[in-house]
A = this chain, B = another copy of it.
Amino acid sequence: MVFDPLTSPLLTDLYQLTMLQGYVEEGMNETAVFELFVRKLPPTRGFLMSAGLESVLDFLERLSFSEEEVSFLAKTGRFSDKLLDYLRRFRFTGNVHALPEGTVFFENEPIIRITAPLPEAQFVETRLMNLLHLQILLASKAARCVLAAAGRSGLVDFGLRRTHGAEAGLFAARSSFVAGFAASSNVLAESLFAIPVSGTMAHSFVESHEDEGEAFIRFAFANPDNVTLLIDTYDTLEGARKAVETSKYLRERGIGVQAVRLDSGDLLRLSLQVRQILDAGGLAEVKIFVSGNMDEYAIAELLDGGAPIDGFGVGTKLDTSEDAPYLECAYKLMEYAGRPRLKKSEGKATWPGRKQVFRSYEEGRMRGDLLTLDGDVQAGIPLLKPVMKDGERLSEPRSLKEIASVAKDQLDALPVSLRMLKTEAYPVMISDALNRLRESTEEALG
């Protein structure tokens, strides 16, 4: 039997089902509260950006087991009829509070809080984390590229070929757009998310022609509205000169060249030389686009060096979040049946109870966050918002443009020190109320 990996509830860890079997046998169905948070930021990062909430709400809304899926589980022989019956009726009926997508956040701050009957709140863990972890990774890395590009608008996600699978490719396009990218190379992202797409030719196109200039002209005739010439297949400066010739030839035929692309070599030196060749050839309006091993560091170094680059194709290092390919995130039980819960494992202890984060600003910049208990009203803006009640969304899905605008406002409000590539710690304080709850919960455990 083939189930759809993107939607099947079988995309989960076996222990979710064995635990459910325990809960169902015991009738443990009281309200549980779980929160997802990041224990520690990666050493190279000063902040993270939330993303992926819409896909989580989709997942929760349609979560159910088909008869075929239940039959498959029955055949494994692992599960009781009682559990299988329970799964046939299984739906997510809980409440969700979350950071809006595009929100900047820091360690220990809840990104999402699930309040639901224990088996439901437990079962959703694997896919919920799978969806949020990846999209947060990607949006956070893309946000750093956006900051490094310092207002230049031409960032394009180029990484599909090396994303970790198809779904990661789609989320890379969406998450980077949320963070401020202009476009993606991913055609499916255009169809699913209406993200602008971009791309023209590979080296193989040039190589398959007998002559580089001929390749340029043929390409332009076939794609007259979308001409970016890749000029580094053999020799970049020679390629730039051919781009000038080609451009004159094409202009006489009513076709404009929009840009040239460099994908190898010393991009600072070459972009300066190419700019000279283009300008001397009367192509001041033709833009320079670069790609190849781009990330926030490479972008910043090129721009700091004065490279006349108008746009960047950012691929593999963005789409695999190369410097930090995973986050130390955890989805932990904070409360069950009205009582706060706590894990004391070495190095992995948690803050118990339902939590909220208040963020203070000074002159439009974030000044510090306070992690406290839900209901303990403090100065600042509460970051977690209710987004789902009794299993139903509280509002229509946000448009990607709205989400991108939230992200832009957040990046604009980052403390100056966090806008830099080098990381600094942002102050996240723990409230008295939360400290007291942890102490009393620890004492109760003896």
Contact = CB atoms under 8 A, between A and B. Distances in A.
Interface of A: 1-6, 8, 10-15, 17-19, 21-26, 28, 32, 34, 72-73, 76, 78, 80, 118, 122, 125-127, 129-131, 133-134, 137, 158, 160-171, 185-188, 190-192, 197-205, 207-208, 218-219, 221-223, 225-226, 232-235, 263-266, 316-317, 320-322, 325-327, 329, 331-333, 336-337, 341-348, 445
A182 B434 CA distance: 43
A162 B5 contact: no
Given A326-B320, A333-B208, A188 B10 contact: yes
A187 B12 contact: yes
B263 A14 contact: no
B6 A125 contact: no
A11 B169 contact: yes
Given A18-B223, A19-B201, 15 more contacts: A3-B188, A5-B167, A5-B170, A12-B186, A15-B200, A18-B200, A22-B205, A78-B226, A118-B208, A125-B202, A127-B166, A165-B171, A203-B333, A204-B341, A207-B336
Contacts of A26: 218, 222
B187 A10 contact: yes
A-B CB proximity, top 8 nearest: A165-B167, A164-B164, A14-B199, A15-B199, A325-B325, A204-B333, A264-B345, A265-B346
A118 B221 CA distance: 19
A208 B26 CA distance: 12
